[in-house]
A and B are shown apart, each in its own frame.
Chain A
Amino acid sequence: MRVPRYWRNKLFRYRLVGWRCINCGAFHHFKPLVCKRCGSRGFREVELPKTGKLLAYTVVKIAPADFKDKAPYLIGLVELDDGTRILAQLTDFSQDELKDGARVEAVLRKIREDGESGIIEYGYKFRPLVG
């Protein structure tokens, strides 16, 4: 089950590309039949901005089974430059950079591995903006 789901979502996982409802503006991770908010059927493909600011964060110390060997890790609520809010893992933060309002950018990282022989799932995480 995991491979098809990973593969279907890869545009969003890799590049934050999804579908915006032409009628109401709701954002969808992959193209739905009808808009989850207003029920209309028109969508356009959008690529969300890769930069934004950190609104809030938390440290995960007791991780779900798939992420056990990654703990402790950080989860953050990020507001992208177009106002879209997204919950994501944070990476490459030093303690003093970890504050609300910090500028961040999306980068591709390993999210999890399906054992030693399964696929490697890549996806976005946010790190402190470089440069």
Chain B
Amino acid sequence: MVRLNGVAIQGYGGYVPRYRIRAEEIGRLWGREKQELPIEEKAVAGLDEDSVTMAVEAARIAVKRAGIDPKKIGAIHVGSESKPYAVKPTGTIVAEAIGAGQNILAADLEFACKAGTEAIQLITGLVESGRIEYGLAIGADTAQGRPGDALEYTAASGAAALLIGRLTDDAVASIEAWNSYVTDTPDFWRRESENYPSHAARFTGQPAYFRHILGSINELLNDEGYSIKDIDYFVFHQPNVKFPLAVAKALKLEREKVSSGLISGFLGNPYSATSLLGLVRVLDEAKPGDAILLASFGSGAGSDAYILRVLDGIEEKRDRAPKLKDFIERKIYIDYASYAKFRGKLRLR
């Protein structure tokens, strides 16, 4: 539980690839009925996309919204579990592609679906201590589920970036408080050199997702003196549609406080980008003065919770770049064969 001082989001960007596959189309292959499926459809990266190209898309939008010289960026931390290089940081490519300078930190982070919100912690610390002027926190994933596995219906692609700097009058939102809750819980993992992750099925709910996400939220609210009724929007990590709604029920939230941040039903779960894309969707519509609670979850397991306060700068900065809606609406449906080709499930050599 940490109170932050004078740190704010200066720009933000969300990116979702153009292709969608309906859960029904995946279910058709494996003999699943519509009512058994966890979501409607999910976003699929194109043949020429990976977590690097999507991180660049989101970062370019965040920089454009902030309206700053990218040479002033001092750190780029990318959270991902689908890095195209096992060794060579994604941040090096993102930095050159957005025109950042050479005197930067460019480390990648890994913590399943919460690697992107971990990046926020590092960047806010560097900004608050005065070591950097601006930093980029990015979550980007082309999540993969083993064909036929339950994860295949939801594992999706997307990226989101937050450009963080000192608190100013024209900032998008101040970052007021943060809490992290981490334990050694083996609910989901991927061993080195394995293409697809493994999971402990029923173990992923209560002892993993719910315990950690509610743990981080409740401690943050209680210890920092916030009450649920002070918060206007709640954004949770969402491996499916059911889990975040169960959290909302446990916290006794009104549906309208959670619906804007829900994306998994029509985009799926792009892992470390998921909760950040929910935040982007909320920022696309929030008003100055609104309070947002963001809580991620990463298997392994842990949750980061943040409280953000929307500021006046949002009104002007929001319209400087495409909104998440623009990317959500330009969808093209693909069948399982194209999906298999796009995501490297077909091998030509």
Say yes or no for B38: interface residue by CB 8 A criterion: no
Cβ 8 A contact of A130, one of B47, B48, B50, B322: B322
Cβ 8 A contact of B48, one of A10, A15, A68, A91: A91
Residues in B whose Cβ lies below 8 Å from that of A108? 52-53, 56-57, 97
Say yes or no for A14: interface residue by CB 8 A criterion: yes
**How many of chain B's residues touch chain A, expressed as a range?**
20 to 34
Are B348 and A68 neighbours in the complex by a CB distance under 8 Å? Answer: yes
Residues in B whose Cβ lies below 8 Å from that of A70? 47-48
Interface positions, chain A 13-68, Cβ under 8 Å from B, are: 14-15, 17, 47, 68
Are A69 and B348 neighbours in the complex by a CB distance under 8 Å? Answer: yes
Are A131 and B322 neighbours in the complex by a CB distance under 8 Å? Answer: yes
Interface positions, chain B 40-68, Cβ under 8 Å from A, are: 46-50, 52-53, 56-57
Interface positions, chain B 305-349, Cβ under 8 Å from A, are: 321-323, 326-327, 330, 332, 348
Cβ 8 A contact of A125, one of B48, B96, B99, B330: B48
Residue-wise interface mask of A (111-131) relative to B, using a CB-CB cutoff of 8 A (1 in contact, 0 not): 100000000101001001011
Residues in B whose Cβ lies below 8 Å from that of A11? 96
Whole-angstrom distance between the Cβ of A36 and the nearest chain B Cβ: 26
Interface size on A, residues (CB 8 A): 23
Indicate the member of A10, A94, A120 with the most B CB atoms within 10 Å. A120
Residues in B whose Cβ lies below 8 Å from that of A68? 348
Say yes or no for A2: interface residue by CB 8 A criterion: no
Residues in A whose Cβ lies below 8 Å from that of B330? 128, 130
Cβ 8 A contact of B323, one of A15, A110, A122, A131: A131
Residues in A whose Cβ lies below 8 Å from that of B46? 91-92, 109
The answer for the CA separation of A15 and B95 in the assembled complex, in Å, is: 11
Say yes or no for B199: interface residue by CB 8 A criterion: no
Given the interface contacts A107-B53, A109-B48, does A130 sit within 8 Å of B327 by beta carbon? yes
Say yes or no for B84: interface residue by CB 8 A criterion: yes
Chain A residue at minimal CB-CB distance from B323:
A131
Residue-wise interface mask of A (3-14) relative to B, using a CB-CB cutoff of 8 A (1 in contact, 0 not): 000000011001
Are B84 and A130 neighbours in the complex by a CB distance under 8 Å? Answer: no
Given the interface contacts A108-B56, A109-B48, A109-B53, does A122 sit within 8 Å of B322 by beta carbon? no
Interface positions, chain A 87-113, Cβ under 8 Å from B, are: 91-92, 94, 107-111
Residues in B whose Cβ lies below 8 Å from that of A10? 96
The answer for the CA separation of A91 and B84 in the assembled complex, in Å, is: 20
Cβ 8 A contact of A131, one of B50, B53, B326, B332: B326
Are B49 and A110 neighbours in the complex by a CB distance under 8 Å? Answer: yes
Are A122 and B97 neighbours in the complex by a CB distance under 8 Å? Answer: yes
The answer for the CA separation of A109 and B48 in the assembled complex, in Å, is: 6
Say yes or no for B18: interface residue by CB 8 A criterion: yes
Residues in A whose Cβ lies below 8 Å from that of B327? 130
Are A15 and B47 neighbours in the complex by a CB distance under 8 Å? Answer: no
Given the interface contacts A108-B56, A109-B48, A110-B48, does A14 sit within 8 Å of B348 by beta carbon? no
Cβ 8 A contact of B97, one of A14, A91, A125: A14
Cβ 8 A contact of A110, one of B50, B57, B85: B50
Whole-angstrom distance between the Cβ of B147 and the nearest chain A Cβ: 19
Are A122 and B18 neighbours in the complex by a CB distance under 8 Å? Answer: no
The answer for the CA separation of A125 and B56 in the assembled complex, in Å, is: 13
Whole-angstrom distance between the Cβ of B167 and the nearest chain A Cβ: 28
Whole-angstrom distance between the Cβ of B59 and the nearest chain A Cβ: 10
Whole-angstrom distance between the Cβ of B256 and the nearest chain A Cβ: 26
Residues in A whose Cβ lies below 8 Å from that of B53? 107-110, 122
Say yes or no for B93: interface residue by CB 8 A criterion: yes
A/B interface sample: 25 pairs, CB < 8 A: A10-B96, A11-B96, A15-B97, A17-B99, A47-B99, A91-B46, A92-B46, A107-B53, A107-B57, A108-B52, A108-B57, A108-B97, A109-B48, A109-B53, A110-B48, A110-B53, A111-B48, A120-B85, A122-B52, A122-B93, A130-B327, A131-B321, A131-B322, A131-B323, A131-B326
Further 7 A-B residue pairs, CB within 8 A, beyond A91-B48, A125-B48 = A11-B96, A14-B96, A15-B99, A17-B99, A122-B93, A130-B326, A131-B322
